[in-house]
Structure 1
Amino acid sequence: MERDVRALVGDPRWTTLPADVRAQVMAQRMLETPDGSRWLFGAHARWHRFGRADGRWHLSAPPAHPEVRSAARLLPPPPVIPPLPLPAGPDFVYDRGSTQAFVGPDVPNGITDGIRALLQAHRGLRRDDFPLPSGGLREMFARDVTSPVAAVWATVMWCAYAPAFDGNEVLLSMFGEFLARPLPGDDWVRWLPPTSLDALVSLYAERMGAGAGEAGLRLVRLMRDTAVVLRADTRFRPRAEALLAMAEPVLAQPWLDRHALAGGAVRQAWLSRCPPHLIGATLTEVSSGEHFRHSLYDLVEALAYTALRGVDPRAAAASLLAADLDGRFAGSPAAADAVNRLYAWMDEESRHWLYGALADPSHPLRGYWPVDDALPPALVPPDRRAAAALLGAAYATGLAWCGLTGTAPPASGFAASSAVVPFLIHQRDDPFPAAGPGDFSDLPPDHGRLRAWQ
């Protein structure tokens, strides 16, 4: 069915069909699994499950077990077609990249070398010409650090699918001398918070608002050049491509954001330039709920290997989500409000699993919770690639529900993603940071910031 729908949507005539005709065509492609669930491969090139209770379609990763999938059957089209998650066309060509975190498989040397070169070329600029505006970036960096350094960092962090990095990652260590305080996490993993597009574009907007147009354009060019380097890694590629699409028009038409700058709407102006086939990369900015749904879908896919062990990956994902919520709130009055916000973005089966795992200490799904910071045997990844994908998807899901509920991410990581770390820390690509210009390894031993970083 996936191949059939992809071929259908890939036909140039698809976007020219009236909406009611497209709905009729898609209604002929609904499937039913043996448990009576109805499924449709629709918008975003992802599966949707029909909710019997509310009569709506919900984004939901499909059953992964081969026997269940092969037993699915076509449903006759209903006499009255309910609203369907119709593919738009561009959403089917969106490249989702990789869900792997930056623990285990390191960032390739070509990327770290490229970022180091950009950092070295812009680190000596005058602070009077490139000050750091107030906000989170100013608090992160030392007082004498300039906005170009922050622009490189913010671009790296915004483009990262899941900013959990190996404690020895060279891409982070080259920023060590610029930071005002240690990054969250420990020597094994740095659990970094997400960087917003607003924080990134504020560096450019501040210079333009101060009448320093050349400096503002130089910052945009630096963001562009950083994204060009990053897109060689699939963990950065989708958002790097989206950032390029938003930033490059400014370099070709420097006056483009004039009205947005005057109205304080630069972020919105940049988002409006993101082409339809890359909108998925900006969900963190436009809809925290949609971003959570897609992150949870990624987590289910990362757990697909458990299906052959008799585990439903969707139930396992709901269980790990419950473990993270339980570990974060631990009976706090804020827990109920946070969970209720998540329910609205989940299909009814996942909601049922999540509620059961949180409410009942003896619920079977609690058997998938990490114990003593370790995954149960049924969820142990089969190899390093699967472990890195699970860690990344679990961490991205944690950040997504934090964003949706207004919760601060824990500095020590979430229960689920932290439990994956032991499967990766002894398989590092590079056990020690490589020395080089801009690394903290070439600083004197008594350097104050080096001590803070370590």
Structure 2
Amino acid sequence: MHWDGFTAIERDVRAMVADPRWATLPGPARAQAIAARALMAPDGSCWLFGTHARWYRLDRVDGRWHLSAPPALPHVRSAARPAPGAAIPPLLVPDGPDFAVERGSTQGFVGPDVPQGVTERIRELVVAHRRLGRDDFPLPPGSFHDVFAADVAGTVAAVWATIMWCAYAPAFDGNEVLLSMFGEFLARPLPGDEWVRWLPPVRLDAIVSLYAERMLARPGETGARLAGQMAGLVVETASALRADARFRPRADALLAMAGPAAASPWLDGPAAQAGAVRQAWLARRPPHLAVATLSETSPGEHFRHRLYDLVEALGHVTASGADPRAVAASLLAADVTAVTGGATAGVVPLLYPWMDDEMRRSFYVTLTDRAHPLRGCWPSSGALPAALVPPGRDAAAALLGAAYATGLAWCAVTGTAPPPRGFPVASALVACLMHQRDDTVPGVTVTKEFHERSESGWLFHS
């Protein structure tokens, strides 16, 4: 068996941090232990396995450590050697809880459907809460009026917003039952086509507004009771969603934030008066779930994690000798070029600080050199090159999810509006899943109790 330095060091660090004595060590001792396990790759790059149970690469240009997926090519991993003595910033030293985070799944909701048990529980929640008094639960001002008809109760919006916030990447099969049950409530067709709905992310502010608005609109005990009911509905929805690994990490974070508000409706009264409910919720998030809310607290760090996921989802390209890191940088360049119409000058400088020098270089040459071999990774005529096609359904769904999540993440960093019909890379992966779709008919059957007349056919046609 050949030596794999990255696997060996990761295993060693995980065992060390899991030891109960780790938490009792002073900070400098922990930093020294991590520094002693740094690695040097054949190209001279320095790596360490640190906080959030992920790898970091020392940038030889700016001297900073960047979150960066490790090399995947076997000959690179086997040639890595220990390089103790690196200076480790305190933020990169694991404290323990961050290693306990569950990564969940990067799969998009295209191909593998949301389990029936989850969709049925969500349906029950919508049925139970759709007819609550709209005077008590109106839609608050803001983005919900762009999604729902004016007469839809805020409780329905709360279920929807929780689903979208908890989703790793809100790209759904156009016939996904979890979406179809909302057809009668929507103001307009969902963005996408008959195959996939490319939905924009929902911010935590949207969920918080449904809760805080009730507390402010009805001062005193009545407002607290209504706000508690809204928080309780968010908790019930997140509890149902966490059965699917694609929702679980963010659902757990939302449960930690909204759960106390549901149990003690008056808890956030002072924060509501100060307009600081979002901050109060984020303050309740436990340390090991911090990475699940990075999109709310640090869009740049969130982008780094999604790019890391994309590199990992491209692991299969090593079979053809390709480097997943370079391929990920190329695919990022393909999406940025397509979405900006080639006007990348205002976007690229905002992304550079969040990539290490190697990824930055691959990204740059792909953007600027039309003859560079990495341009061969770009989708052509809506399809990926054969060498990049994932080996199976699960791998294709994971790559689709990671590609869409990365697209949304770089758009958030740069202030770019996500394309309504998807990013080129994620869209090209749909063809890999079309012949393996779970559904067989372009629609769903809903009960009379839920939907007295079928109006959702337009949901599948933009």
TM normalised by structure 2 equals: 0.94
Letter in 2 for 1:416: V
2:345 is paired with a residue of what secondary structure? Answer: helix
Structure 1 residue aligned with 2:395: 386
- 2:370 aligned residue (361, 367, 378): 361
Structure 1 residue aligned with 2:117: 110
1:419 aligns with 2:428: yes
CA distance in 1, matches of 2:340, 2:450: 36
1:216 is paired with a residue of what secondary structure? Answer: helix
Structure 1 residue aligned with 2:349: 340
For residues 89-108 of structure 1, the aligned pairs below 5 Å read 89-108=96-115
For residues 159-198 of structure 1, the aligned pairs below 5 Å read 159-198=166-205
CA distance in 1, matches of 2:301, 2:148: 32
CA apart distance, 1:255: 2.1
For residues 268-417 of structure 1, the aligned pairs below 5 Å read 268-332=279-343, 335-417=344-426
- 2:130 aligned residue (118, 123, 148): 123
CA apart distance, 1:213: 2.3
- 8 Å CA contact 2:180, 2:459 repeated in 1: no
1:157 is paired with a residue of what secondary structure? Answer: helix
Q: 1:452 to 1:310 in 2, by over 3 A?
A: closer
- 8 Å CA contact 2:170, 2:200 repeated in 1: yes
Sequence identity (%): 63
Letter in 1 for 2:425: A
Q: 1:251 to 1:299 in 2, by over 3 A?
A: same
Structure 2 residue aligned with 1:247: 258
| 1:55-112 Cα distance to aligned partner (Å, 9 max, x none) | 111111011112211211111425xx35362112111110010000000000000001
Letter in 2 for 1:231: R
CA apart distance, 1:304: 0.6
Q: CA RMSD in A?
A: 1.5
CA apart distance, 1:331: 2.6
- 8 Å CA contact 1:27, 1:77 repeated in 2: yes
- 2:43 aligned residue (12, 35, 40): 35
Structure 1 residue aligned with 2:89: 83
Unaligned residue ranges in structure 1 (runs of 5+)? none
- 8 Å CA contact 1:174, 1:438 repeated in 2: no
2:49 is paired with a residue of what secondary structure? Answer: strand
Structure 2 residue aligned with 1:203: 210
Letter in 2 for 1:158: W
- 2:437 aligned residue (420, 425, 428): 428
Letter in 1 for 2:33: V
1:13 is paired with a residue of what secondary structure? Answer: helix
Structure 1 residue aligned with 2:71: 63
CA apart distance, 1:35: 1.3
Structure 2 residue aligned with 1:13: 21
TM normalised by structure 1 equals: 0.96
1:40 is paired with a residue of what secondary structure? Answer: strand
Letter in 2 for 1:256: L
| 1:153-196 Cα distance to aligned partner (Å, 9 max, x none) | 00000000000000010000000000000000001000000000
2:435 is paired with a residue of what secondary structure? Answer: coil
CA apart distance, 1:259: 1.3
1:443 aligns with 2:453: yes
1:74 aligns with 2:85: no
Letter in 1 for 2:120: D
2:193 is paired with a residue of what secondary structure? Answer: coil
| 1:134-164 Cα distance to aligned partner (Å, 9 max, x none) | 1111221001101000000000000000000
